[in-house]
A and B are shown apart, each in its own frame.
With several copies, the nearest count.
Chain A
Amino acid sequence: MKYIIAVIQPDRLESVVEALSEEKLDLMTVSEVLGRGRQKGVAEVYRSHVQPGSLLRKVKIEIALQADKVPQAIDAIKRGAYTGNIGDGKIFVLDLSDCIRIRTGETGESALA
């Protein structure tokens, strides 16, 4: 089992969710983050003092899934998140050793879905 963490542009969330849905990957956890990457931040100005800004708003998506579905997931995320600009984001793949569904107590792969 794998645990995917993807960091994308905030306004691509809907299209990524859609693309994942097409692959029947419907389960995920989403959060708001700040990203520091190649995309340069925008300096901010307060009472005329410039504050070098380096963190930009991003959205993080986490998906726990079977190992063999990883390529599909990556494709879907790419499809939904790609614009070709710096800042499009990254996908990280980690190993997942177990998963438990609280409601039923199921564990392992059957708890993923």
Chain B
Amino acid sequence: MIDSGDTAWIVISSALVLLMTPGLAFFYGGLVRRKNILSVFMQCLMAVCVVGLQWVLFGYSLAFGPDHGGVIGGLSFAGLNNVGLLPNADYAATIPHLLFMVFQMMFAVITPALIIGAFAERMKFSAFLVFAVLWATIVYDPLAHWVWGVGGFLRDYGALDFAGGTVVHISAGMAALAAALVVGKRKGYPETGTPHNLALVVLGAALLWFGWFGFNGGSALSSGAISTLAFVTTQLAAMAGAIAWVVLDWVLAKRPTTLGLLSGLIAGLAAVTPASGYVGPMAALAIGAIAGALCYISVMFVKSRLQYDDSLDAFGIHGVAGTWGTLAVGLWASVAFNPNGADGLFLSGAAHQLLVQFVAIVVVSAYSFVLSFALLKLLDKFMGLRVSPDHELIGLDLTQHKESAYTFLG
């Protein structure tokens, strides 16, 4: 039976998650140099369009269609066949099946967009489009099935991922690492300028924050106690992540910075994602704060040591925070908060769930890294991933899209 309140919440959540991709575009777009901002916008927005199309044509079916051997969903929902206005009780008994499909679509489209941070300012637009569609097909859709699909083997194994710590953040983060390695450093790295417009970065972060309430809260697939819990934990982890980064900045770099605050905020949000509907508010504070600190270390020390050019820290933030948050479910999850969850180490005293989470992390990370790496190598061979050096110099906006974001005069 369709419930009007549940439906209202998931419809608005879907809209909120959609808004996150433009949010990401502003976040990333403000960080790059003026000459590349439109290339970031184009990649983010076209990811929505082409991966969205893939999703309705066959992606949704691969992910959520009736199970085949625990690994893939088959094609019986392809072209939205059998996906109608009545509920599909397997996933959400009180909202139309079509609504569940479109809510999930918003996750599928933002995940490849997250990866853009790793190869921003140098990737060919055509190569990106091909990459996005293939990656969604061979990486995202299977992973979504394993973790969330009825019959998926990680789901059956007991892995918990409330709103996408593994499926979205780890998978995108590992792909980002692979991409940074395959695509290579930007010309002139590490002298690649400072963020050209931090006001846009703040705008992007604000939209991401706002949208994240739909991302996590909507993952309850109903409106009530669990959506409320996810909302609250999301907010608290975001705050704690921001505070942690600001404090570290203040102590270690002498000044609290805006980009630091926003980075910590995103780290907190990404980390709480897999845990948001399973843990309590105080645990969320801890998850967020530790996420801020871990991502700070990864961006500050690890990246500069290892010298790969993850331009906008897609791995350093989403990958690291997603991993931490997925583990954290095994620490703080509590059936007192969500009876469909589990009791983590701190409640049950047993490490079982922690182990399950760890296995899920390893499986998902390895799968995403290996397939992303191979896919990118292949594409590099067949169509080339990078723009030419002089196009990189002039900027992708003019050379890939024949546009400038801002006029200089008039």
> Which of A19-27, A43-51, A73-81, A98-106 participates in binding chain B?
A43-51
**Interface bits B372-410 vs A (CB < 8 Å: 1, else 0):** 000000000000000000100110001101111000111
Asked if B304 CB lies within 8 Å of chain A CBs, one says yes
Partner of B253 from A13, A14, A45 at Cβ < 8 Å = A45
Binding site secondary structure of chain B: helix
Sample 26 A-B pairs with CB under 8 A, ordered by A number.
A10-B409, A11-B393, A13-B410, A30-B409, A32-B408, A34-B408, A42-B394, A44-B404, A45-B249, A45-B401, A46-B195, A46-B257, A46-B259, A47-B259, A47-B260, A47-B299, A47-B300, A48-B248, A48-B249, A48-B252, A48-B260, A48-B299, A50-B402, A55-B408, A57-B35, A85-B390
Minimal Cβ-Cβ distance residue in B for A39: B394
Give 3 nearest A-B pairs by CB, closest first: A45-B402, A42-B398, A48-B300
> Which B residues, 252 to 273, have Cβ-Cβ distances below 8 Å to chain A?
252-255, 257, 259-260, 263
Is A45 within 8 A of B410, CB to CB? no
Is B409 within 8 A of A44, CB to CB? no
Give every chain B residue within 8 A of A46 (Cβ-Cβ). 194-195, 257, 259, 403
Q: Which residues of A contact B (CB under 8 A)?
A: 9-11, 13-14, 30, 32, 34, 42-51, 53, 55-57, 59, 85
Partner of B194 from A13, A30, A44 at Cβ < 8 Å = A44
Is A47 within 8 A of B304, CB to CB? no
Asked if B90 CB lies within 8 Å of chain A CBs, one says no
Q: In the assembly, what is the distance between CA of A96 and CA of B249, in Å?
A: 46
Asked if B67 CB lies within 8 Å of chain A CBs, one says no
Give every chain A residue within 8 A of B408 (Cβ-Cβ). 32, 34, 55, 57
Candidate in A42, A43, A50, A56 with the most chain B CB atoms within 10 angstroms: A42
Give every chain A residue within 8 A of B254 (Cβ-Cβ). 45
Is A51 within 8 A of B259, CB to CB? no
Candidate in B35, B401, B410 with the most chain A CB atoms within 10 angstroms: B410
Asked if B231 CB lies within 8 Å of chain A CBs, one says no
Give every chain A residue within 8 A of B410 (Cβ-Cβ). 10-11, 13
Is A45 within 8 A of B403, CB to CB? yes
Is A44 within 8 A of B402, CB to CB? yes
Q: In the assembly, what is the distance between CA of A9 and CA of B115, in Å?
A: 30
Is B399 within 8 A of A42, CB to CB? yes
> Which B residues, 211 to 269, have Cβ-Cβ distances below 8 Å to chain A?
248-249, 252-255, 257, 259-260, 263
Q: In the assembly, what is the distance between CA of A49 and CA of B194, in Å?
A: 10
Minimal Cβ-Cβ distance residue in B for A42: B398
Minimal Cβ-Cβ distance residue in B for A48: B300
Minimal Cβ-Cβ distance residue in B for A58: B409
Asked if B369 CB lies within 8 Å of chain A CBs, one says no
Minimal Cβ-Cβ distance residue in A for B402: A45
Give every chain A residue within 8 A of B300 (Cβ-Cβ). 47-49
Minimal Cβ-Cβ distance residue in A for B35: A57
Is B253 within 8 A of A48, CB to CB? yes
Q: In the assembly, what is the distance between CA of A51 and CA of B404, in Å?
A: 11
Min CB gap B305→A, angstroms: 13
- Provided the pairs A9-B393, A44-B402, A57-B408 are in contact, do residues A14 and B252 lie with their beta carbons within 8 angstroms? no
Partner of A43 from B249, B402, B409 at Cβ < 8 Å = B402
Q: In the assembly, what is the distance between CA of A20 and CA of B300, in Å?
A: 31
